């Protein structure tokens, strides 16, 4: 997969290309990564890429001509590329979109600066608008890195294990199960026995329960919209019965005989 980033700050990407999984993916030619400096496509002598906003106000806007020229240059190089503008106006990035983008052969990522890019860049030259979240950055560069990072680790052969990305949090709509490594006891807290038992099937069950519990406690919204499988339903029903039992004996002990949360009055 090939990524071309259009930016006025290409130097920001050097350390990103140079570390960890991204670096290894480049070395193994799983991805090809490059930047185009938008400034190089400004034909004015001082290579200005921003200008004052029509209608007044303090902010500057990214000029359309250099940006359009840069996008066309990237397109010339890879006619099939999917062209993405990073902007808070875009659809909000998630694991599903990471999967979707991983299917493209070539991605062009356009990074805005200042208040944003001239509106006339959107319709003609951009295929897709993506936001990495509902907050305002000083530029699209970090957003581009987030996307490249999440997409790269979806590509076969970029992570340690064969299908490591398939075991991810979110791959099946749940948060990750709890993880432990040595030492076996840390500050009086021991690793759960089951993980030391060597019983592969029981460990898998424990991990599923852990993932379900963490998702219920921390991100119930994910569970609400998830397409639950029979095993997951069985676990949730087991917990539900347990909670009902606890409440039943509580109500029994406190002399309440009516069902539910209705109050006697």
Q: CA nearest 150: which of 165, 128, 131? A: 165
CA 97, CA 104: separation in Å to the nearest integer? 12
**What is the Cα gyration radius of the chain?**
25
**Residues 24 and 128: beta-carbon distance below 8 Å:** no
**Residues 151 and 186: beta-carbon distance below 8 Å:** no
Residue 18 annotated to the active site: no
Segment 187 to 216, residues that bind ligand 4GS, using CB under 6 A:
none
CA 166, CA 176: separation in Å to the nearest integer? 12
Smallest gap from residue 53 Cβ to ligand 4GS (A)? 12
Site for ligand 4GS (CB under 6 A): which residue of 29, 55, 136, 261? Answer: 136
Smallest gap from residue 106 Cβ to ligand 4GS (A)? 20
Q: Pick the closer one to ligand 4GS by CB: 10 or 88.
A: 88
Site for ligand 4GS (CB under 6 A): which residue of 29, 135, 181, 193? Answer: 135
DSSP 180: -
**Contact call for residue 112 and ligand 4GS (CB under 6 A):** yes
Stretch that binds ligand 4GS, among 81-89, 150-158, 165-173, 189-197 (CB under 6 A): 81-89
**Contact call for residue 86 and ligand 4GS (CB under 6 A):** yes
CA 106, CA 71: separation in Å to the nearest integer? 13
Binding interface with ligand 4GS (CB under 6 A): 86-88, 112-113, 115-116, 131-133, 135-140, 143
């Amino acid at each position: 997969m090939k990524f071309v980033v259009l930016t006025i700050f290409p130097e920001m990407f050097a350390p990103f290309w140079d570390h960890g999984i991204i670096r290894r993916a480049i070395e193994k030619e799983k991805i090809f990564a490059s930047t185009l400096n938008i400034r190089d496509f400004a034909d004015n002598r001082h290579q200005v890429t921003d200008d004052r906003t029509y209608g007044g106000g303090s902010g500057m806007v990214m000029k359309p001509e250099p940006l359009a020229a840069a996008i066309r240059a990237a397109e010339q190089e890879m006619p099939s590329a999917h062209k993405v503008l990073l902007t808070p106006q875009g659809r909000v990035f998630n694991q599903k979109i990471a999967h979707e983008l991983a299917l493209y052969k070539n991605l062009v990522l356009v990074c805005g600066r200042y208040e944003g890019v001239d509106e006339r860049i959107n319709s003609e030259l951009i295929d897709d608008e993506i936001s990495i979240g509902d907050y305002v950055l000083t530029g699209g560069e970090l957003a581009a890195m987030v996307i490249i990072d999440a997409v790269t680790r979806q590509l076969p052969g970029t992570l340690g294990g064969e299908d490591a990305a398939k075991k991810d949090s979110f791959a099946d709509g749940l948060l990750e199960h709890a993880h432990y490594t040595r030492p076996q006891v840390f500050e009086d807290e021991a690793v759960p026995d089951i993980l030391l038992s060597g019983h592969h099937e029981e460990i898998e069950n424990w991990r599923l329960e852990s993932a379900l519990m963490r998702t219920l406690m921390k991100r119930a919204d994910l569970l609400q919209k998830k397409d639950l499988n029979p095993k997951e339903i069985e676990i949730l029903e087991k917990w539900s019965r347990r909670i009902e039992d606890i409440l039943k004996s509580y109500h029994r002990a406190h002399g309440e005989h009516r069902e539910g949360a209705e109050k006697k009055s």
